[in-house]
Chain A
Amino acid sequence: DAGVTQSPTHLIKTRGQQVTLRCSPKSGHDTVSWYQQALGQGPQFIFQYYEEEERQRGNFPDRFSGHQYPNYSSELNVNALLLGDSALYLCASRTFDGNEQFFGPGTRLTVL
């Protein structure tokens, strides 16, 4: 079991561009959440996907959107990138009826 995987590992973009980050959940997990972790801060909840729909959302603008596929993998899309979007983006998965989340290694996004 590879656990939660994310791609790419690192990404450099310029302001105004768009980015797509990808996540494959741990085997057996069907619920995926995305978090933004700025340097020196705790993870901030972006949104959660279950059954291919966004179920919960944190305090993030609609420039942040996502998708979940039938195989439970998920994407995070960020449009019109700002310098402040530079952060580590973490994906976490769990079973719908469980509590314990398993985190992926993250994607380090740098916006120049």
Chain B
Amino acid sequence: GENVEQHPSTLSVQEGDSAVIKCTYSDSASNYFPWYKQELGKRPQLIIDIRSNVGEKKDQRIAVTLNKTAKHFSLHITETQPEDSAVYFCAATTDSGGYQKVTFGTGTKLQVIP
């Protein structure tokens, strides 16, 4: 089955600095890669996603890059703000005729220091 590794497990940055979280996956059939933000006691919320036929996607301060050959993808947050503090999860999705199986990484706890 799919295996997703995520690093680092914790990340502290100064407000205004950039944060980068990296994930690797094992199943070359994975074709959709969402990133979720989960604040304490709340549900995961999608912040950005990328499909396997795209190498990079950007949405304001957030960007995701995908290297299919190396089977890794990364989340980049620029100009970090205290409200970016949360746990971030990457995920890899395999799709078999519409029936998806989603494998999550172990999460990165991001702390933005004011």
Contact = CB atoms under 8 A, between A and B. Distances in A.
B106 A50 contact: no
**SS of B interface (majority):** strand
Contacts of B99: 48, 50, 55-56
B36 to A, nearest CB: 8
Contacts of A102: 46
A58 B101 contact: yes
Interface residues of A, number: 25
Interface residues of B, number: 26
A105 B45 CA distance: 10
A97 B98 CA distance: 6
A78 interface: no
Interface in B45-62: 45-46, 49, 51
Interface string A88-112: 0010000011011111111000000
B34 A105 contact: no
B32 to A, nearest CB: 5
B49 to A, nearest CB: 7
Interface of B: 1, 6, 32, 34, 36, 42-46, 49, 51, 89, 91, 93, 96, 98-107
